[in-house]
Amino acid sequence: MEYRFVCSGKTYRVNIVADKEESWQVAIGDGKPLRVELITSSSGCYSFLMDGEPITAYAVEGGGKVYIFVAGQSFAFELEKGRARGTSGREVARGSGNLVASPMPGSLVKLLVSRGDEVEEGQTLAIVEAMKMENELRSPIKGVVRRVNFAEGNQVDALQPIIELEAL
């Protein structure tokens, strides 16, 4: 069975075949399959043997993601479904290039442009503050401001389009 996991915008293919009770052959991408055995599991903590090497992993699911902590590093994976998906906020914000959104939830402390303004690529358009740190939102393109969806002082969610641009 093949799974496609999305992590930090990248897609990874993993092939898995169960070979006996609590034991699998797992291959990343086109790599060589590795034998992984589950030794014990309890309350989100899993002990595996990966090619004979003992590995402890912690895992939890939530919000459509599986979170895994292993070898001191944590990862959040989303399952890439085979069927066509609806457009998520993340894709809107990243994909089309003419929407400007905050990567984090916070307070819109400064709005530096208004409708009809021409902006340069890289120009600071707005400033969002969260956890006392300011984050400058810069224009991804040279263009014209078509819509401004929030006012200064508003709370904005992560990836919610704040400014909509039209390329010049």
Partner 1 sequence: MIKKVLVANRGEIAIRVMRACQELGIKTVAIYSDADREALHLRIADESIPIGAPPASESYLNIDRIVRTAKRVGADAIHPGYGFLAENPDFAQRCEEEGIIFVGPTSATLRLVGDKVAARGTMQKAGIPIIPGMTFVGKGIEDFRKATSSLGYPVLVKASLGGGGKGMRIVRNERDLKNAIAAGRREAKSAFGDESVYLERYIEEPHHIEFQVLADKFGNVIHLFERECSIQRRYQKIVEETPSPTLSGELRTRMGEVAKKAIKAAGYTNAGTVEFLLDRDKGFFFLEVNARVQVEHPITELTTGVDLVKQQLLIAAGEKLALRQEDISQRGHAIEARIYAEDPTQDFLPSPGKILYLQEPQGPGLRIDSGIYPGCEVTPYYDPILSKIIAWGETREFARRRLIQGLKNYAILGISTTVGFLIDLLEHPQFVEGQTYTNFISKNMGGWRPKGNALDQALMVAAILSSEAPTKPEIVAAQATSPWQELGEWEICGSGV
Where on the chain is the footprint of partner 1 (CB under 8 A)?
Answer: 1, 3, 5, 7-8, 12, 14-16, 18, 24, 26, 28, 34, 36, 38, 41-46, 48, 50, 55-62, 66-77, 79, 103-106, 109-110, 127, 129-135
If the CB atoms of residues 134 and 166 are measured against partner 1, the closer one turns out to be 134
If the CB atoms of residues 72 and 86 are measured against partner 1, the closer one turns out to be 72
Q: How far apart are CA 47 and CA 55, in angstroms?
A: 6
CB atoms within 10 A of CB 58: 13
Token code pair at residue 110: 């400064």
Q: How far apart are CA 29 and CA 23, in angstroms?
A: 19
If the CB atoms of residues 35 and 146 are measured against partner 1, the closer one turns out to be 35
Beta carbon of residue 31, minimum distance to partner 1 (angstroms, whole number):
8
Beta carbon of residue 37, minimum distance to partner 1 (angstroms, whole number):
10
Beta carbon of residue 106, minimum distance to partner 1 (angstroms, whole number):
5
If the CB atoms of residues 9 and 116 are measured against partner 1, the closer one turns out to be 9
CB 16 within 8 A of CB 1: yes
Beta carbon of residue 110, minimum distance to partner 1 (angstroms, whole number):
7
Q: Which one-letter DSSP state was computed for residue 1? A: -
Beta carbon of residue 67, minimum distance to partner 1 (angstroms, whole number):
4
Q: How far apart are CA 90 and CA 151, in angstroms?
A: 22
Token code pair at residue 30: 């086109």
Residues 6+ apart with CB under 8 A from 149: 160, 161, 162, 163, 164
If the CB atoms of residues 36 and 141 are measured against partner 1, the closer one turns out to be 36
